[in-house]
Amino acid sequence: MIKVDRPFFLKANCSIRYSGRAESQLVQGDYLIIRKGDGTLMIHGATRLVALNYQPPGAIMKLKGNKLISHRKGETIEITVYHIEQYLEITTWSDNRISIKKTEDDLRNHIVEHIEHYLGQKISETIKEFQTPNGAVDILAVGLSQYHAIEVKRAKTTIQSCSQILRYLDYFKEIEQPTQGWIMSPQITQGAISYCQKKHLNWVEVKHESDVSNDSTDLKILEDHV
């Protein structure tokens, strides 16, 4: 008997029906089903990272005959179980989080620390996450004659980042505050470059601090050898 209120691992021959924001069906087959203590439900097929069907934390599961029914905020997953191959209750399960580096936040902090270097001019003040009605500017830098609205991307900048900053510039235009738009990222796509040129946005290549310090380590080794 499956206890649906505890975390479990289930390998079963089953078929799945989902209804909610969208609707989907999965033909009968052997799938892997995991349910976590917080209500999270995942049905995984043999390939791919993302689950075939899923429900985020908060779902309630019930067993009716050979059907497992999970429900959350108007969304329902119905698992019709034909054969159970493996059923395993998961007892001890840690709930730690990863500590992560090289995020956009890291890069933003690095840029703020070296803002005059990257903008190539005197800056009197920088504000992170400056709120506008059209969203928050990553970094707002106050120069002598104008503002600088800077959008930071941790990886490759695409054309939608250009749009993002244009929305912020719309606001500064409204309040008649001269502002230059900037994008700072390690990489940028060709389409974004073209669009930047048309819209008079500047792009500056920046590196993550850890990548920079790796370079300097190489340099030190080089120096030692010289």
Instruction: Point out which residues bind DNA (CB under 7 A).
Output: 18, 20-22, 24, 40, 48-50, 53-57, 72, 75, 77, 97-98, 100, 103-105, 129, 131, 134-136, 138, 151-156, 158-160, 164, 167, 189-192, 195
- Smaller CB separation from DNA, 11 or 105: 105
- Residues shown for the chain: 226
* 110 contacts: CB under 8 Å, gap ≥ 6: 206, 208, 209
Residue 138's binding partner among DNA, a second copy, none (Cβ under 5 to 8 angstroms by kind) is DNA
Angle at 98 between CA 97 and CA 99, to 5 degrees: 120
Residue 207's binding partner among a second copy, DNA, none (Cβ under 5 to 8 angstroms by kind) is none
81 binds a second copy per the rule CB under 8 A? no
Mapped onto helix, strand or coil, the DSSP state of residue 207 is coil
Among 1, 95, 124, 200, binds a second copy (CB under 8 A): 95
Q: Give residues 181-200 in contact with a second copy (rule: CB under 8 A).
A: 191, 194-195, 198
Q: Give residues 99-158 in contact with a second copy (rule: CB under 8 A).
A: 99-103, 133-135, 154-155
* Inter-residue contact 138 to 103 (CB < 8 Å): no
* HSE, side-chain direction, 13 A CA sphere, residue 102: 9
- Smaller CB separation from DNA, 48 or 225: 48
Q: Is 206 exposed, middle or buried (0-12, 13-18, 19+ CB in 10 A)?
A: buried
- Smaller CB separation from a second copy, 59 or 119: 59
Among 3, 6, 37, 129, binds a second copy (CB under 8 A): 37
DSSP result, 172-191: HHHTT--EEEEEEESEE-HH
